[in-house]
A and B are shown apart, each in its own frame.
Chain A
Amino acid sequence: EVQLVESGGGLVQPGGSLRLSCAASGFTFSSYWMHWVRQAPGKGLVWVSRINSDGSSTSYADSVKGRFTISRDNAKNTLYLQMNSLRAEDTAVYYCARALIAARPFDYWGQGTLVTVSS
């Protein structure tokens, strides 16, 4: 059974940092691109970042570029999102999701982890 389990969310002050993790199981993690998608309270889905299967290529939404870093450890079947210089507008549930390649759909999602940026 495919499972994606996020962790690492919580309350952080503006300007602070947080690292999210997404533990994968039930599939060959190293074969899949992985994405982070976020959803602010009461709002829609917004793509945040992606990493290719071997970790050699990444990309980011303009809203997080230069502040967030996506990475993965294929030996540990884990995806990460390092979030620095956090702002109130980064408050959201963060989901990890997998896709086989760029054009493929996000066929499995984690349950999400809530990040709240507030003083």
Chain B
Amino acid sequence: SYVLTQPPSVSVAPGKTARITCGGNNIGSKSVHWYQQKPGQAPVLVIYYDSDRPSGIPERFSGSNSGNTATLTISRVEAGDEADYYCQVWDSSSDHNWVFGGGTKLTVL
């Protein structure tokens, strides 16, 4: 089955740029979605189809996807961005393959 690999943690100072990667075999050929989850809360979609933002998500959140790596970029990081972030793809080669990465804990220093 398809595997997505994320770094367990990323740390960034307020006002700086955070980049969270999601690795997968030829992930550039798939559509990647990103979710933010704060403690005790349900996940929230922040980026879909690699780089689109749902309404209500700040422009500071952006995404890219190429080759074997997709990236979620958060510009001008704020304390409120501290959360777990998960990438997700649908592997069309299988009927039961909605796959999540292991998640990345973003810490704002």
Contacts and interface: CB of A to CB of B under 8 A. Distances in A.
B45 A47 contact: no
B33 A106 contact: yes
B73 interface: no
A31 to B, nearest CB: 18
A42 B69 CA distance: 25
Contacts, number: 56
Given A95-B42, A110-B42, A112-B42, A105 B88 contact: yes
Interface in B50-96: 54, 84, 86, 88, 90, 92, 95-96
Contacts of B98: 35, 47, 50
B42 A106 contact: no
A62 interface: yes
Contacts of A59: 95-96
Contact of B92 (A60, A103, A109): A103
A109 B88 CA distance: 14
B96 A61 contact: yes
Interface residues of A, number: 24
Contacts of A97: 43
Contacts of A37: 100
Interface in A71-119: 95, 97, 102-107, 109-112
A103 B96 contact: no
A104 B98 CA distance: 10
B44 interface: yes
Contact of B101 (A44, A50, A105): A44
Given A44-B101, A45-B35, A47-B100, A111 B42 contact: yes
Nearest to A65: B96
Given A50-B98, A105-B33, A106-B33, A95 B43 contact: yes
